[in-house]
């Protein structure tokens, strides 16, 4: 079974998806980490980020791997920590926007989804990558709360700068940020992680029963 979890930055996707995968014994796939890893490599190689062709080739030549421990690899380098830096946050939407990049990423994400039971997190999972996912969730949250959550993730950056970064990222990601028609919308503004995980797990269990 595939569980798709989409939504904007700071809505709680990663925490919810990781914990849910643990509870269900499913694999966890963070597709944002794939775009981040490619962005990291493009910066190392000094490629212009506005040019989709070379970035698509870079993606094809350097498949991203996420190992059992959840560590992210590209070009034989463990980039797990490096891809969470603010300098990556700021430019990753520029890289993620190119159709040449997205088609390579989607191919890889399809392959990983084909392996079976997984919780997949991203922006376009329920709509494009896994439109047949048995469970589709779209998490949202008030923008102030999302910015506060990001502040906890990135203590080195000021709250104002983070709120601006988040707004700019929302604008850049907007084209891909829409819930699938059959997604369950969950507003996490007032909910704690356990509450969201419990709700999604309930949906998964219902689906598992219906399918058995
Ligand atoms: O979820 P995140 O912040 O790690 O995502 C990083 C960037 O990648 C973000 O700008 C949105 C983009 N992204 C995307 O376009 N499609 C996905 N499936 C996942 C992430």
d(CA 202, CA 170): 29
The larger pLDDT score, comparing residue 157 to residue 85, is at 85
Give the Å distance between the CA of 185 and the centre of ligand 1: 19
Nearest CA to ligand 1 atom 5: 32
pLDDT in tens, 109-132: 999 888 889 999 999 999 999 999
**Is the model's pLDDT at 64 over the cut of 80?**
yes
How many angstroms is it from 169 CA to the middle of ligand 1?
9
Name all domains of the chain by residue range, CATH numbers in brackets: 1-26+118-212 (3.40.50.300), 31-116 (3.40.50.300)
Q: What is the pLDDT of residue 177?
A: 75
What value does the mean pLDDT of the chain take?
A: 91
**E strands in the chain:** 2-6, 27-30, 65-66, 72-74, 77-78, 118-122, 135-140, 184-187
Structure confidence by residue, pLDDT tens digits, 132-156: 999 999 999 888 888 877 777 777 7
Whether ligand 1 lies within 6 angstroms of the CB of 32 is answered as yes
Q: What's the predicted TM-score (pTM) here?
A: 0.89
Q: What percent of the chain has pLDDT over 90?
A: 68
Band of residue 165 on the pLDDT scale cut at 50, 70, 90: confident
Give the residue, by CA position, lying nearest to ligand 1 atom 1: 32
Q: What is the mean pLDDT of residues 196-207?
A: 93
Q: 93 CB less than 6 Å from ligand 1? A: yes
Count of all residues that appear for the chain in the document: 212
Please state, in angstroms and rounded to a whole number, the distance separating the CA atoms of residues 29 and 32. Answer: 9
Q: What is the pLDDT of residue 144?
A: 85
Q: What pLDDT does 149 receive?
A: 78
Q: How confident is the model at residue 166 (pLDDT cuts 50, 70, 90)?
A: confident
Q: Is any ligand 1 atom within 6 A of the Cβ of residue 31? A: yes
pLDDT, residue 168, reads 78
So what's the pLDDT on residue 104? 97
Euclidean distance between CA atoms 22 and 113, whole angstroms: 17
């Amino acid at each position: 079974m595939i569980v798709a979890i989409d939504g904007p930055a700071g809505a709680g996707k990663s925490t919810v998806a990781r914990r849910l995968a643990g509870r269900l014994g499913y694999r966890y796939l963070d597709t944002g980490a794939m775009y981040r890893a490619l962005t990291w490599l493009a910066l190392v190689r000094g490629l212009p980020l506005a040019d989709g062709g070379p970035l698509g080739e870079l993606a094809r030549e350097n498949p991203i791997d996420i190992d059992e421990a959840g560590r992210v690899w590209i070009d034989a380098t463990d980039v797990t920590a490096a891809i969470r830096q603010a300098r990556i946050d700021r430019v990753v939407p520029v890289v993620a926007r190119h159709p040449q990049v997205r088609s390579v990423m989607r191919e890889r994400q399809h392959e990983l989804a084909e392996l079976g039971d997984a919780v997949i997190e991203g922006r376009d999972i329920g709509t494009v990558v896994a439109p047949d996912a048995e469970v589709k969730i779209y998490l949202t949250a008030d923008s102030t709360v999302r910015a506060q959550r990001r502040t906890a993730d990135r203590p080195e950056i000021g709250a104002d700068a983070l709120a601006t970064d988040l707004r700019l990222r929302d604008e850049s990601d907007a084209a891909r940020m829409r819930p699938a028609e059959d997604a369950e919308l969950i507003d996490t503004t007032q909910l704690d992680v356990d509450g969201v995980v419990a709700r999604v797990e309930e949906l998964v269990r219902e689906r598992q029963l219906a399918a058995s």
